[in-house]
């Protein structure tokens, strides 16, 4: 039962009918992650990674992917006569979520991530924009209401069949968890790195490079979902040293590559911008109807 200051469960799923309260943080998010679901003290992306991603994405380097995702969602939502609930799982600091919030046809946009710093960053931006759920006018509202949630993708605190669509942008793929909360024939949009994504950067950082296998999870989704379409998008990048440093910090390459390799690459970029290509693949899937 959401409210501006405290959310309360109704106790119906608790053995003792306990009605747990969840305080709304001043930034505007709600922490629904139980301690037992944490695998570390601060799970998810670090503050440094979040800030690097903010700077890099704000520069527009991945805008073609953002535009493709927005276009695909508009097309799917345009097929429905009623406003939908949409879940952006692994939303991070909200670069793609912010674009989704501008799409007509979404009543409630649930922005979920296990990283509290990331969700806090997203919530502050949405609060400033007047888009949080408690900032919405009660009647005649046309603006999407955003619900920033700290939670585990594997244990989504959502009713079964309660959302029309899920987006997972570079985030976990959990077929059963997604199928459970999606309504029958609901949609799943997945974005992953495509083959040769940032190839020249990876070649500079590692002695051997293993190619992205973007399709490997499709067989796991097959029992629950039908693949409707695949879209590929790429963009040439010419990066100055600060942009390249942010790109490394926001990716797993930051800790997988040896420090001397990272420093050598950054030193080389001080003389000339670094060129690489970002390549992505987007999958559009639909939940199979219940039999």
Q: Chunked in runs of 10, what are the mean pLDDT values of the chain (291 residues)?
A: 88 82 95 69 78 96 97 91 92 96 93 95 95 76 86 91 96 94 96 93 85 79 96 96 93 78 88 94 93 43
**Torsion on CA atoms 52, 53, 56, 61, rounded to nearest 10:** 160
Distance CA 200, CA 180 (A): 40
CA 69 to chain centre: 12
Look at the alpha carbons of 176, 181, 186, 187 in this order and tell me if their dihedral is positive or negative. negative
- 145-150 vs 163-169, strand pairing mode: unpaired
170-189 burial string, b = 16+ CB within 10 Å, else e? ebebbbebbbbbbbeebbbb
At residue 288, the pLDDT reads 94
For the chain, the 3-state helix, strand and coil shares in percent, each to the nearest 5, are: 35, 25, 40
At residue 291, the pLDDT reads 43
Identify any residues that bridge with 276 across adjacent strands, giving them in sequence order. Answer: 237
Locate 232 and state its tokens: 């590929």
Each residue of 213-234: pLDDT tens digit?
767 789 999 999 999 999 999 9
170 — phi, psi (to 5°)? 55, 35
Task: Indicate the pTM of the whole model.
Answer: 0.91
At residue 138, the pLDDT reads 55
């Amino acid at each position: 039962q959401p409210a501006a200051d405290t959310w309360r469960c109704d106790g119906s799923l608790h053995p003792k009918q306990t009605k747990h309260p969840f305080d709304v943080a001043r930034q505007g998010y709600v922490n629904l992650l139980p301690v037992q679901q944490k695998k570390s003290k601060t799970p998810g992306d670090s503050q440094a990674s979040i800030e690097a991603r903010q700077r890099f994405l704000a520069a527009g380097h991945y805008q073609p992917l953002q535009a493709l995702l927005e276009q695909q969602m508009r097309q799917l939502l345009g097929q429905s006569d009623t406003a939908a609930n949409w879940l952006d799982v692994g939303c991070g600091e909200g670069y793609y979520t912010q674009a989704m919030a501008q799409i007509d046809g979404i009543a409630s946009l649930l922005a979920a991530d296990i990283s509290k710093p990331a969700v806090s960053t997203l919530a502050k931006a949405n609060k400033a924009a007047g888009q949080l759920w408690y900032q919405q006018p009660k009647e005649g509202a046309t603006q999407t209401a955003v619900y920033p949630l700290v939670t585990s993708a594997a244990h989504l605190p959502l009713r079964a069949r309660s959302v029309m669509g899920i987006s997972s942008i570079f985030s976990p793929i959990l077929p059963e968890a997604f199928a459970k909360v999606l309504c029958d024939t609901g949609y799943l949009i997945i974005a992953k790195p495509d083959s040769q994504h940032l190839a020249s950067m990876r070649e500079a950082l590692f002695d051997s490079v293993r190619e992205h296998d973007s399709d490997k999870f499709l067989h796991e989704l097959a029992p629950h979902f039908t693949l409707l379409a695949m879209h590929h998008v790429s963009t040439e990048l010419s990066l100055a040293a600060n942009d390249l440093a942010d790109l490394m910090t926001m990716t797993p390459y930051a800790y997988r590559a040896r420090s001397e390799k990272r420093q050598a690459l950054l030193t080389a970029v001080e003389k000339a911008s670094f060129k690489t290509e970002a390549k992505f693949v987007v999958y559009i899937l639909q939940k199979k109807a219940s039999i």
